[in-house]
Amino acid sequence: MKKAVIVGYGNMGSKYAEQLYNGQIKDLSLYGVLCRNQPGQQKIRESMPGVVVFPDENAMFEACGNFDALIITTPHKEHVRVVQKAQHAGLHVLCEKPLGITVKECEVLSYEPAACVNAMVFNWRAREIYRQVREYIHCGNLGRLTQVVWTANFWYRPAFYHHASAWRSSWGGEGGGLLINQCQHLLDMWNWLFGQPCEVSAQLGYGRYSDIGVDDKTSLFFRHENGMWGVFVSSSGDSPGTNRLEIHGELGKLVAEDDRFLTIFRNEASTIQVAETSEEMYPKISCTEERREVKQAESEYTIILQNFADAMEGREEPLATIADGRRALENCNAAYLSDWRQKKTEIPCDAAAYDRELQKKIQEEL
């Protein structure tokens, strides 16, 4: 039985703590919680008797011989520091997204295979519909992929959300807005499903829906080395929103909608083959259509926590590693830099150049 400490007792930290304390995760128990505020500490003592309450990082790391793992749910800018300390202490790590704010700050971390698990909370990988999407396209059922269009503008957030914490929705506190926060999940999913893009052209909107200085609207155009193109559109100010992923390949099309419905179009012939051999001006390629409803049998967060526990026991590989976290951040940093410079940008981008531009944004915000 491995023992974990939750670092941070906010929205996600309290949920994870409850699951571990109630024994919902096999072979992983809750040893302690790092909580810096006294009301939170008192709540932990009252609701979870026996759980150690750490008031700060120093106290927690001094006791690291008593537990095996850290689950990090602190604000973004603290992630890299805590992961680095955990690696030096020989602890297993499960870190909430994003891994950090800039790729450059993540250079201090180790990405080499190690005895300890270094995992990310990319819970979209635990959603059954995307597992089926990945299996379908990785088995070659669509043939060569040609184009992907993902409309994901379902992150509606009011001004109350943006101003709920001093660090939120700011360059200095959060490192950005929509791209560094909500869209980290989808940037990781893009890599997981299609491989990492090699180039991005970005058009971002700042404070289009609320009085904030960071991005709340984004349109990205991705290019991949294998010739595939992709368009990703998102916002945090539209309602009702849409979550529609449309994947085109030479052998058909796959459409995933609202995390629930999957529609499969199967061509009777390859578009590439028909293009090369047809003697018609406007040939029609017959296709079949299958629509299915995909149900999520288990909570994605339970799946993530159980996978982390199983990975520590050597039974499974982690669903997502900190290397995956770095790649999602590479997409994000490159997209910001592309918009700021108004030109196509390679992925990964120049990390030092991105840091310089981000510091300018932070200074302008003061």
Residues 32-55: what's their mean pLDDT? 96
pLDDT band at residue 314 under the 50/70/90 scheme: very high
Mean pLDDT for all residues in the chain: 96
Q: Taking residues 127-131, what's their average pLDDT?
A: 98
What does the CA dihedral 130, 131, 134, 137 come to, rounded to 10 degrees?
A: -100
The model's pLDDT over 246-290, given as tens digits with 9 standing for 90+, comes to 999 999 999 999 999 999 999 999 999 998 999 899 999 999 999
Q: How sure is the predictor about 62, in pLDDT bands with cuts at 50, 70 and 90?
A: very high
pLDDT confidence band for 113 (50 / 70 / 90)? confident
- Note the pLDDT of residue 330: 98
pLDDT at 92 exceeding the cut of 90: yes
For residue 366, pLDDT over 90 is answered with no
- Each residue's pLDDT tens digit, 182-203: 999 999 999 999 999 999 999 9
Question: Measured between alpha carbons, how far is 311 from 297 in angstroms, rounded to an integer?
Answer: 21
